[in-house]
Chain A
C-alpha cells in the first residue's frame, strides 16, 4: 500500500561493467575472438579491422583487447573517434609508443580531412614502431566514405572481419549475464519471454533491461512475466 502511494525513487548508480573477453558472448564470432585474444602476438603490421552493425560488440572487443594487453603489462589506448572528433587530432600524436592502439568508430572521421590525414600518418608510424592496431567501424572499408585514398587502401590491407549479431540462442545468455550484473536474476522462461517480443538486437534488449531494472527498483518488485507485461505493455 505504502509502496503504491510513495514509489521508491531509484538512485542512479551506474554499474561498472567490465569489458573483457571473458564476458563477451561469442556467438558466431569465435574466429575473431581467437584472433584478437592473441593480438599482441600478431606479426608487426598485421592490423585488424572489425566491422558490424551497432550493438554487435565491436566496442566491447576493442576494450577487451585493451584489458588483455594490460594483463600482459602492455600499454594500450582505446580511441572512440565519435567522441574524440570534437578535439584536435593532436590527441593521436606520438601514440605509436603505445603497444596496442584500438580505434573505434572510424566512420565518424570519414570526410574530415585533418583527421583522415592524422590517422594515415599514425598508421605509418605504427607500422614503423611495430605496435598493434585494431580498428572498428559500422561498415566495411569499401563503404566507409573515407576521402583519403591512402588511408582507405591501408585499411583494406588489414585482416578484415565482420562481427555478426548474436542469434536468439545466444541472446538469452547475454541477457541473463547483463541482468545478473544489475542484480536481477532472470530465469530462462522470463528471458525468452523478452526475446520473443523485443527487437532482437543487443541495444534493444539492453534498453528493455534498463527500463525493467528502473521500474523494478522503483516498485520494489521482482522481474517476472506479469511485471514485464505491465511495464512494457506487451
Chain B
C-alpha cells in the first residue's frame, strides 16, 4: 500500500486504493473491494502493478485475488455454510452503532437485528399541534400492536419526525415484550435484500424472514415507486402480516393515493388501517424541540437563543438539529457560553448569512451612505479627511470582503495605484486599534454588508 501511495496521484489513491481491505490467508492475498465497479477499476488499472510490487517485496509464490466484500460484513454476518442469505449481510454489518435492541436468530438462515435507534422514543418526542394526532395514534398502536389500527400509515414532509414515531412504537413494543420481533428498515433495503435473495436463489428465506416478524416498520415507502417486483413481494408480505395480526407501520412523504408509480391495490391497502399526517412544527414546538435536544446534550441553551434558532430555521426538525449541533460544536470549540449573539455568529455558516454577493460597488455605496458623503466622492481626487477616511474604510472593506487584486481595487476607486490601497488598509488597521470611533464604524459596516 505504501509503495502504491508513493506512485499514484493522491486523488487516485484516495478514491480507488484506500477503500480496499486486505486479507491474507497462507499464500493468498485477498483484496476486498466494496463493489463491482471498484473491483473492475482496480483490475483494469492497478492489479498488474500491485502484482509487481508484491512480487518485489515477497518472492514466494503468493496469489493475489480481488473480490467484492468487506471484513466487517464477513465478521458480523454469521451466515450458515451455504451462505444463501447474503441478503442479510448488510443488516448485520453495523460497526459502531449501539442502538440495536434485539439480536436474535430467526428460523431459517437469516439472523436479524431490529435496526431501532434507541434514542427515538415517545419520551424524547416533542409533541405539538403539528404532530399530536400522529403521536396519539402511534402510542395507541404501540399499546395494542396488531389490533384495530393496522397498518399505520404516517405521512408528511421530510424531517418532521415520522421515523422517530415509528421507532418509538418499536421501542415501546420491545419494552413491553423484549422477545418481540420488531424490524425497522428503509424501503430501499427491503428492495436490495429481495434482489440479493433472488440472485442467491434464497427468496423463500427472504419471505419467511419478513413474514415472521411481530412488527414490520418500513420507512419512506415512496421509494417503492416504479419497482414492480418489489411491490409484488411487499404486497404478499403485507397480506401475510395483516392476516396474522402482525403490525405494519409505514412512513411516506405523501398521502397513499398520491404516490405515483405504486400499484393501485397497494395504495388502497395502505389506507385500510389508520392514516395520519405530520405537519411542520410551529414556532413554540420548534423551541421546545431545541430545548429538549439541548437538555439531552447537557447544554445550557437560553430561551432567547432557542427562539433565535427556531425563528431562523422553520423548515424541518432535521435542519433545526443541524443548527443546534453547530452551535454546540462552536461552544465546545471556543469554550464560550451560548447567547443569542453567539448563536447568530455560529449559524452564519449554516444560514449562509454572508452569502450575499458583495461587490466593491456595493461596499462603496454602503460606506458613502453610512458617512453621508456622495458616491462620486469615493472616486474623486479630493483628499480632505471627511472624504479620504471613508474612502480608505471602503478600500479596506473591499480587501477584506472580496477577492479582487489590489490593483483592481485601486482601479475601481478612481484609477488609484495598488500602493494607495495598501496604504489605506494599513491606515485603517492602525486606526481601528487607536480610535474607538473608527473601530465602531468598521464593525457596523461589516455587519451591514454581511448580515
Contact = CB atoms under 8 A, between A and B. Distances in A.
Interface of A: 14, 16-19, 30-31, 34-35, 44-46, 51, 63, 66-67, 69-70, 75-80, 87-88, 90-99, 102, 117, 121, 124-125, 127-131, 139-143, 149-150, 152-154, 156-162, 165, 167-168, 196-201, 204
A92 B188 CA distance: 15
Contact of B93 (A19, A45, A97, A162): A97
Interface string B1-41: 00001100111001100111100000000000011111000
Nearest to B19: A77
Contacts of A129: 72, 90, 93-95, 97
Contact of B19 (A30, A76, A201): A76
B405 A198 contact: yes
B350 interface: yes
Contact of B37 (A87, A124, A131, A204): A87
B318 A156 contact: yes
Contact of B253 (A14, A149, A154): A149
Contacts of B35: 90-95
Given A69-B18, A75-B21, A158-B322, A197 B97 contact: no
A46 B9 CA distance: 30
Nearest to A34: B333
Contacts of A128: 90, 93-94, 97, 115
Given A97-B34, A129-B94, A140 B350 contact: yes
Nearest to B328: A159
Given A90-B37, A143-B352, A149 B93 contact: no
- Interface size class for chain B? 35 or more
A153 B316 contact: yes
B329 to A, nearest CB: 6
B321 A157 contact: yes
A99 B95 contact: yes
A-B CB proximity, top 9 nearest = A97-B70, A78-B14, A130-B96, A162-B349, A153-B158, A157-B318, A77-B19, A156-B319, A130-B95
- Max chain B Cβ within 10 angstroms of own Cβ: one of A16, A30, A153: A153
A160 B318 contact: no
Contact of A167 (B97, B316, B333, B400): B400
Contacts of A80: 11, 15
A78 B15 contact: yes
Contacts of A131: 95
Contact of A77 (B18, B315, B318, B351): B18
A162 B348 contact: yes
B350 A94 contact: no
22 contacts: A14-B9, A19-B10, A51-B349, A75-B20, A77-B19, A90-B35, A94-B70, A95-B35, A97-B72, A117-B223, A128-B115, A129-B90, A130-B95, A131-B95, A139-B352, A153-B316, A157-B322, A157-B325, A159-B325, A162-B354, A165-B403, A197-B405
A149 B5 CA distance: 38
B438 interface: no
Contacts of B83: none
B322 A159 contact: yes
A219 B321 CA distance: 58
A200 B422 CA distance: 13
A77 B15 CA distance: 5
Contacts of B37: 87-88, 90-91, 93
B188 A91 contact: no
Interface of B: 5-6, 9-11, 14-15, 18-21, 34-38, 68-70, 72-73, 90, 93-97, 115, 157-159, 186, 188-189, 220, 223, 253, 315-316, 318-319, 321-322, 325-326, 329-330, 333-334, 348-352, 354-355, 399-400, 403-408, 418, 422
Contacts of B407: 197
Given A70-B18, A99-B95, A128-B94, 12 more contacts: A46-B325, A95-B35, A129-B95, A129-B97, A140-B349, A149-B157, A150-B220, A157-B318, A158-B322, A160-B350, A196-B406, A197-B405
B10 A201 contact: no
Contacts of A124: 186, 188-189
Contacts of B95: 44, 99, 129-131
Contacts of B72: 97, 129
Contacts of A95: 19, 34-35
B158 A18 contact: no
Given A31-B333, A150-B253, A159-B326, A196 B418 contact: yes
A185 B322 CA distance: 44
B93 A78 contact: no
B253 A31 contact: no
A201 B348 contact: no
Nearest to A95: B34
A153 B408 CA distance: 40
B18 A78 contact: yes
Contacts of A76: 14, 18-19
Contacts of B96: 44, 130
B425 to A, nearest CB: 9
A135 to B, nearest CB: 12
Given A63-B10, A87-B37, A140-B352, A94 B68 contact: yes
B405 A130 contact: no
Contacts of A87: 37
A199 B404 contact: yes
Contact of B349 (A44, A46, A161, A201): A161
A143 B5 CA distance: 36
Contacts of B15: 77-80
B254 to A, nearest CB: 11
A78 B220 contact: no
